[in-house]
Amino acid sequence: MKIELRNNKDFWAGIMLIGIGAASIFFARGYPFGTTIRMGPGYFPSMLGGILVLFGIYVVVMGLRRGEKIQSHCSLRALIVLPLSVVAFGVLMNHAGFIPALAVLVFGSASAGREFKFVEVLLLTVILTGLSVAVFISGLGLPYPLIKGF
Amino acid sequence: MELFNHLIFGFSVALSLQNLLYCLIGVLVGTLIGVLPGIGPMATIAMLLPLTFNVPAVPAMIMLAGIYYGAMYGGSTTSILVNLPGETAAVVTCIDGYQMARQGRAGAALAIAAIGSFFAGTVCTLLIALFGPPLAEFALKFSSAEYFSLMLMGLVAAAVLAHGDMAKSLAMVVVGLLLGIVGADVNSGVKRFSFGFYELADGIGVVTIAVGVFAVGEIISNLSDPEERRVFTSKVTNLFPTKEDLKRSFGPIVRGTGVGAFFGVLPGTTPAIASFSSYMVEKKLAKEPSRFGHGAIEGVAGPESANNADAQCKFIPMLTLGIPASGTMALMLGALMIYGIAPGPQVMTEKPDLFWGLIASMWIGNVMLVVLNLPLIGMWVSLLKVPYRLLFPAIMVFSAIGIYSVNNSSFDIYLMAIFGILGIVWRMLDCSPVPMMLGFVLGPMVEENLRRALQVSRGDLSVFVTRPISLGFIVATVLILIVMAAPTVRKRWGAAAAG
């Protein structure tokens, strides 16, 4: 009998938990462990990491026994485009200023959706950017330059 | 009489112009996001939290609380009028509320929902005022062993009572605890899991995680589902319920409040569980259960009172013990810490204006919701016509600016993107992010109390079971685990929690 793993929900959940647990044990090895009476900074994370690995193994076993599939699907477009526009916002805030950062964020986010109407999104970008400048910069007085000189 | 002095003091705080204004903003924003599906109180509070940093703690907390219970009102409005629950808690209200609307009795349903919520809100305000002080006084005697056991109980209960797989929820608590201890260790100064980023020395911001997982993650998830929003608006003609309606609703409102208050203080239960339980109670008690599902007003009155009671009673463990009973409460606790207020039983004595002002403001907020919302219903419903594709970029803008403004740093923005991706991955793997949030907020406190308890007991683990109060919490934790692990209970609870 061949067990389908690619889509096995609990198998991957368990692997993720084991991964996080193992990573925290690994990195916590660099911190003094201490004793139970005087716990060092490595004690608690190592303990949690161990617990997490145990949970992970249990969840993997459950996954293999139940074989439940991942139900909800995820739009690859949204998964890539949305975080990317967020990152672009961060980069542009440092190097280009508030207005370009926001414009890219709004335009980028909007294009993560299924429906994309160019004129509508352009209008939305202009309106949201304008509103944000009015609310956050003029209204709340956040100290960000609107556009940075090159 | 002490109770009345406390309440009068609370009202004197809450009735200041500034606090009234923030309360009003809170309940309006709350209703708005309660009406709009696709954005919940959790994401909203996280998004708006950074913008309140230059506001004093009391008005800020009043506003955040207003968002929370305001959302409960808003959620019921759309359930009744357009069969669209704005919040999960309002799913049950759809059953009979929408049927009433189709029979032309939307006004009566809305009015009963508002009256029920108001009654529940009033009772819960009194409950907090009544039980808060003794509970806090009791908790003041706790040493670190009791605190550790109490937090353990809170976290375990929250994980196993929540909807979803028990083992995975418990594991997510542990993930949260690990995320919570990122940054400099208070005792040794060792920077843990900071990987050389100085931005991580102070730990990960509670707002960054919450916005990432609950706003960005939620949006990705919403964009992945096909849009199924259809708006059909029934006209609201007569707002006044008949005498018959009021007579039928009285019992359900009282019982619903009781059910909601009970579930409210339990960690991990959501308002959805409270409203579903109340619905089942009313259906069991009804003389003609067949009316349920066909526009029985009891099916609106009970659940609506229950979810509001639950939402407000969640403040009891948060304010008196410093234990968050839900994801939103974890965020409120995080907000308190950002304002430099250490959560716990001492809040009541050290910050009486915050404690009593917040409680009084909840009652005032409930009055505002009843008075304001009924006339504004038309406006809320018309907002539903705003398509999601225009809404979510606005949410992104608010989130990004909010997160950036916390430390004026792009690093937090990158973290927000990472947690957005984690949010959707966790959702797909059915690993609930809410227990993670509770663990995250309590992480440093759990470690500190464990450390201190074992230091005092000279490393003897039995300290947690030899001290009677601590033993009580441990026994309760084990009982909850055993009961909830029983397959039949699990099944039934799962059905209820899923609504």
- pLDDT for B238 equals 66
**ipTM over cut 0.85:** yes
As a whole number of angstroms, the distance between CA B10 and CA A36 comes to: 45
**Would you say A82 and B216 are in contact if contact means Cβ atoms under 8 Å apart?**
yes
Query: Residues with Cβ < 8 Å from B308, sequence gap 6 or more?
Result: B69, B72, B73, B116, B117, B120, B121, B124, B260, B271
**Would you say B271 and B310 are in contact if contact means Cβ atoms under 8 Å apart?**
yes
Q: What is the pLDDT of residues A16-46, one digit of tens each?
A: 999 999 999 999 988 888 888 888 899 999 9
**Would you say B294 and B9 are in contact if contact means Cβ atoms under 8 Å apart?**
no
Residue range A52-64: average pLDDT?
Answer: 93
Q: Which residue has the tokens 């997510």?
A: B172
Q: Which of B178, B188, B414 sits opposite A41 (nearest CB)?
A: B188
Number of residues that this document lists for chain A:
150
Helices (H) and strands (E) in chain B, counts: 23, 2
- pLDDT for B275 equals 85
Q: What is the pLDDT of residues B95-113, one digit of tens each?
A: 888 888 888 888 888 888 8
**Percent of chain B whose pLDDT exceeds 90:** 24
CB contact under 8 A, B416 and A75: no
- Predicted confidence (pLDDT) at residue A104 exceeds the cutoff of 90: yes
pLDDT class of A2 with cuts at 50, 70, 90 = low
CB contact under 8 A, B450 and A136: no
Q: How many CB atoms lie within 10 A of CB B465?
A: 13
- Predicted confidence (pLDDT) at residue B409 exceeds the cutoff of 70: yes
- pLDDT for B120 equals 93
Query: Residues with Cβ < 8 Å from B54, sequence gap 6 or more?
Result: none
pLDDT class of A1 with cuts at 50, 70, 90 = very low
Q: Which of B388, B400, B420 sits opposite A105 (nearest CB)?
A: B400
- pLDDT for B490 equals 66
Q: What is the pTM of this model?
A: 0.85
pLDDT class of B74 with cuts at 50, 70, 90 = confident
pLDDT, greater one: B229 or B319: B319
Number of residues that this document lists for chain B:
499
**Interaxial angle between packed helices B298-313 and B57-82, expressed in degrees from 0 to 180 and rounded to the nearest 10:** 160
As a whole number of angstroms, the distance between CA B167 and CA B293 comes to: 35
- pLDDT for B499 equals 45
Q: Which residues pair with B400 in a beta bridge?
A: none
- pLDDT for A14 equals 94
pLDDT class of B55 with cuts at 50, 70, 90 = confident
Q: Highest-confidence range of B41-45, B93-97, B119-123, B381-385, by mean pLDDT?
A: B119-123
Q: Which of B193, B450, B458 sits opposite A37 (nearest CB)?
A: B458
Query: Closest by alpha carbon to B431, among B159, B172, B213?
Result: B172
Nearest residue of A to residue B394, measured between CA atoms: A128
Helix (H, G, I), strand (E, B) or coil at B30: helix
Helix (H, G, I), strand (E, B) or coil at A69: strand
| pLDDT, mean over chain B | 85
Residue range B133-159: average pLDDT?
Answer: 88
Those of residues 7-66 in A touching chain B at CB distance below 8 A are 9-10, 12-13, 16-17, 20-21, 24, 27-28, 31-32, 35-41, 43-45, 48-49, 51-52, 55-56, 58-59, 62
As a whole number of angstroms, the distance between CA B76 and CA B71 comes to: 9
Sign of the CA dihedral B82, B87, B89, B91? positive
For residue A1, the distance in angstroms to the closest alpha carbon of chain B comes to 24
As a whole number of angstroms, the distance between CA B168 and CA B174 comes to: 10
- pLDDT for B206 equals 87
**Would you say B130 and B7 are in contact if contact means Cβ atoms under 8 Å apart?**
no
**Interaxial angle between packed helices B91-102 and B298-313, expressed in degrees from 0 to 180 and rounded to the nearest 10:** 150
**Percent of chain B whose pLDDT exceeds 70:** 93
- Predicted confidence (pLDDT) at residue B91 exceeds the cutoff of 80: no
From B47-51, B89-93, B249-253, B319-323, the region with the lowest mean pLDDT: B89-93
Q: Tell me how far CA of residue B312 lies from CA of B165, B393, B410, in angstroms.
A: 27, 31, 36
Q: What is the pLDDT of residues B376-390, one digit of tens each?
A: 877 877 777 778 888
CB contact under 8 A, A82 and B216: yes
